[in-house]
Amino acid sequence: MQQLTSQALEQMIPQQTKTSILIIGGAEDKVHGREILQTFFHRAGASTANLAIIPSASREPAIQGERYQKIFGEMGAKSIEVFDIRERHHCEDPKWHAYLETCTGVFLTGGDQLRLYSLLADTLLMEKIRIAARQGRLALAGTSAGAAVMGHHMIAGGGSGESPNRSLVDMATGLDILPELVVDQHFNNRNRMARLVSAIAAHPDKIGIGIDEDTCALFEAEGLLRVVGKGTVTIVDTQEMSYTNLVNVGATDPLSVFNLRVHILSYGDQYNLHSRRPSSAPSV
């Protein structure tokens, strides 16, 4: 009982001194253990959590919003508001800005990342969320499309099952929450390695991160991520990349990319974005 109490207390520790950003690869467990959603819930304050759900990426925002509202309500959140933002001017609603003053967690649902970007980018509401998340004043989670928007450069779409090439990936601007990353989701489930390599070859100053379904890259501190969930997180590091033929070939021609460093991380493994070094999960 003492051990369980200690673990519970550890989860309840306020996160003001930490960055709690959760990038989820989509299709997270919403029925059984709900580990990833539980992690977000605890990072946001558990029973004291004031949560905001933003389902704007979805074609059915009301259904998505209600679904997550029910899940976090069952977990015991103190308050939950669905930010029903369907037009850009909805971001100016004073009630959302007032709620952010005491909000401890924001959850971006899946859908269409271009739609999410078009509604939230360059708004005061998004700027407040971004600053609060970076400063560790609230936990921020994004799943699927909500994960794709995390970087400065965003994968907006593309194909799979081909050799890396420029036409395989459509790039756009993201919400700049973690600007050093280019994120791809549903990663191994949809065979998107070539897509991520194509994206990162065009942006070698960034770190590519591919996240499987029901898997989360949890940023616990500045520049440090830990893997939670059932799948893997793939890191594509271009720091030692020595050559690519990207500018010399046609859009559909295969890309050459030399000296990429790739890491495959599973449950509990960590990666430091500053040192570019992975570390394994502690032995049990």
**What pLDDT, on the 0 to 100 scale, is given for residue 17?**
35
Q: pLDDT tens digits for 79-94?
A: 999 999 999 999 999 9
CA pair distance 134, 155, nearest whole angstrom: 22
In a domain, 10, yes or no: no
Q: Please report, for the domain that includes residue 242, its CATH number.
A: 3.40.50.880
Identified catalytic residue from 213, 222, 242, 279: 213
Identified catalytic residue from 144, 256, 266, 280: 144
- Residue 186 falls in the annotated catalytic set: yes
Distances (CA, A) of 279 to 128, 213, 231, 266, 272: 33, 22, 17, 11, 8
In a domain, 284, yes or no: no
Does 14 score more than 60 pLDDT? no
In a domain, 7, yes or no: no
Percent of the chain with pLDDT over 70: 93
> CA torsion sign, 36 to 40 to 46 to 51?
negative
203-207 long-range Cβ contacts below 8 angstroms, 24+ apart: 203/153, 203/171, 204/238, 204/241, 204/244, 205/238, 206/151, 206/152, 206/153, 206/180, 206/181, 206/182, 206/238, 207/180, 207/181, 207/182, 207/235, 207/236, 207/237, 207/238, 207/273, 207/276
Range of the domain at 254: 19-271
In a domain, 220, yes or no: yes
Does 71 score more than 60 pLDDT? yes
Does 12 score more than 70 pLDDT? no
In a domain, 143, yes or no: yes
In a domain, 3, yes or no: no
CA pair distance 139, 16, nearest whole angstrom: 9
In single-letter form, the type of residue at position 280 comes to: S
Tally of domains in the chain: 1
In a domain, 13, yes or no: no
Does 136 score more than 70 pLDDT? yes
**What pLDDT, on the 0 to 100 scale, is given for residue 222?**
80
In a domain, 14, yes or no: no
Q: pLDDT tens digits for 166-225?
A: 999 999 999 999 999 999 999 999 999 999 999 999 999 999 999 999 999 999 888 899
